[in-house]
A and B are shown apart, each in its own frame.
Chain A
Amino acid sequence: MSKARILFVDDEKDFVEVVAERLRGREIDVDTAFSGPEGIERVKAHEYDAILLDLAMPEMDGMETMKQMLAHDPKLQIIILTGEGSVSAGVEAMKHGATDFVEKPADIDTLVDKFSEAHQKRLETFEEDVSKKMSDLMRKKGW
């Protein structure tokens, strides 16, 4: 089975680097960005199974970053990373299109499970899209 590919966006560089290293050790392909605008550029240039996105960032916060990412690709699966005790912020983000949320410090196995689910869901969505396109093509051609 192919690896899950994710983008991790958070301005806490030390946190991003250690989590990325641990995820890579668990067969997750991790790309990193340290600001909202940098994350948006990555999303425009690459395809990811999921985005792990911190809510509290300088320059552009996670909510605005998420909105711009979803405007580029509404099917993106975005998992919000919130501070402890910020469940309401995570729920609010889900109302605006986030797939899920995780509270820091974030259990590594929970993250791996969520990324594996996101990878599987993206594969299924891709297969459904191909199947639909094939059906449409056959209908148009009268095959």
Chain B
Amino acid sequence: MTDSNSHKAEQKAKTDVAFFGRITASVTHELNNVISIVDQNAGLLDDLVAGEARGVPISLERLESVSRAIQNQTQRGLQIIERLNKFAHSTDFTEAECDVNLTIGNLVELSQRLASLKRMKITFAPAQVTVHVTGSGLVLQRVVFSALELALTNGTAGTTISVMVKPDDQGAVVLIEFSADSGVQKDHEAEARSTVEQIGGRLEVGSSENGVKVSVYLPGALTG
């Protein structure tokens, strides 16, 4: 491997790790919230039992509501873990056939907390047909996330980001539409474009009924 190729590989590994860290930090924060709620409800049960020992009767309704709260948070936690597990397994192969609908759908769910912190939410519409590209699932998500981040960074608080997958002659296109009062900052756009071009794709930023429309054209085989 030449010095130049070695440097490129090192840079790519760094950006992959940074992206992986960004997503897992956000998701594990949410998981910590889930665990915290379960922990406090378990503590509340202890409090209720201690109260009973002092002569304060425990109401059945109260017990049911604590149990329901624990069940709700357990379900929430399991969903988060399932998404995180799929995300972690996207690093398994550098050359795999990636289902764009499933992979980007999972990325959207993993990004909901980041959107929520910006008072936004993300809707997702998969393509009506199965669309595949070959390459690394992690790289596919990193590239689409760089475009999604344009919406998270430049989008208007209180609005919805729409993400859609469509088949394309070459591979697939991911469309991201959002409201942005001040448009998209040029340096953010340049950074996202560079990221998409590194895998042989193309990024277009235009306008739509909702405001901004970012189109990420993915090649059938991701390069780089």
Contacts and interface: CB of A to CB of B under 8 A. Distances in A.
Interface string A79-97: 0000111000000000000
Interface string A16-36: 001101100100000000000
Given A15-B36, A105-B32, A105-B36, A56 B117 contact: yes
Interface residues of A, number: 20
Interface residues of B, number: 22
Given A14-B73, A18-B69, A58-B118, A104 B44 contact: no
Given A15-B40, A18-B40, A84 B32 contact: yes
Interface in B154-189: 157
Q: Specify the main secondary structure of chain A where it touches its partner.
A: loop
Contacts, number: 53
From B28, B35, B43, B116, residue with most partner A Cβ within 10 Å: B43
A18 B44 contact: yes
B198 interface: no
Given A83-B28, A83-B33, A105-B32, 20 more contacts: A12-B37, A14-B37, A14-B73, A15-B37, A18-B37, A18-B41, A18-B44, A18-B69, A19-B40, A22-B43, A22-B44, A22-B47, A58-B116, A58-B118, A59-B157, A61-B117, A84-B32, A105-B36, A105-B39, A108-B43
